[in-house]
Copies of this chain bind each other. A is one copy, B any other.
Amino acid sequence: MLELEKAFYRRKVLIAGGLGFIGSSLARRLVEFGADVHLLDSLLPEGGANNFNIAGLEGRLAVTVGDIGDRGIIREALAGQDFLFNLAGRTSHLDSLRDPQADLTDNVTAQLSLLEACRNANPSIRIVYTGTRQVYGRPTFLPVDETHPLAPLDFNAVHKLAGEGYHILYHKIHGLHVACLRLTNVYGPRMRVKDARQGFLGWWIRLALEGRQLPVYGDGKRIRDFNFVEDVVGACLLAAIRPEAEGRIFNLGSGEPVSLLDLAQQVITAAGSGSAALIKYPPERERIEIGDFQADFTRIRSGLGWQPRARLQEGITATLDYYRENRGKYWEPESPSSI
């Protein structure tokens, strides 16, 4: 899209969480646009950071290993930047149940510190924060729009909601330029597939490629809403440049909800290997299970003209192709661990 290309050409962009799944996909697009891209990543072992995610971009962007909560590092990284894509933090719901304090530190305390640094060191920077549909908890109506009640079912969601709240407050109180997205399940090349920490679809992709059994919880009829990563990248870029996004929160969604069993079958068919088995919810997953989810993304469609482009089937195929080619870079063969 020419609008985006022009908007980012020779602009300075910091991506927090830049070696991760969405961060590195954003970086690729921005490098193509001729942006001056700087990645900041703390390489959390539970996160999506992977040096291979930026393979081929060596020398065309800068990388700093560090935490957004580290004041010295962040102050330096923010200097002179025009944009900040704020994708840093923990994403695993289950990890947050096991260690809520670590999730609090990385998703709340560090975010507050980052925003305070923006306010002090670079108050004109344009910030996009990626939140999560998990803040809605178990939907009381479908599709879920941005006015749906907020009822987080895990610590990660409580914390991501606080992080989002901070962004809105730094906009309202201190005039920072921010826009917030609430992402539904995101999938695509460069997602973490060695376990289910970035969602079960990554884990399924791997199992299918290995010819193994995809565990489908419950009766397989649960509905989920998946966005292909390139569509999410597009939404982040639009939200960063459009004045009408400022101070607002937008759902993403696909308009193509799918049941878990259908999804598993699509993956297996596209992979030409693997099988699906219905299994009982493990108790720790069942407690945070949200039921069916489908996003209403009318607000971003009408407000910013964003539309998801990738069909689920195409996205799955592209993702399988990527991991078929690069599997050695994302998991060790014979490492059977899920989480």
Contacts and interface: CB of A to CB of B under 8 A. Distances in A.
B104 A108 contact: yes
Contacts of A101: 109, 112-113, 116
Nearest to A166: B158
A172 B288 CA distance: 9
Interface in A101-123: 101, 104, 108-109, 112-113, 116
Given A100-B112, A109-B104, A287 B173 contact: yes
A162 B287 contact: no
B150 A150 contact: yes
A162 B153 contact: no
Interface of A: 97, 100-101, 104, 108-109, 112-113, 116, 147, 149-155, 157-159, 161-162, 165-166, 168-169, 172-173, 287-288
A100 B167 CA distance: 13
Contact of A287 (B147, B159, B172): B172
A123 B150 CA distance: 26
Contacts of A108: 104, 108, 162
Contacts of A100: 112, 116, 166
Contacts of A147: 149
Nearest to A148: B149
A165 B134 CA distance: 13
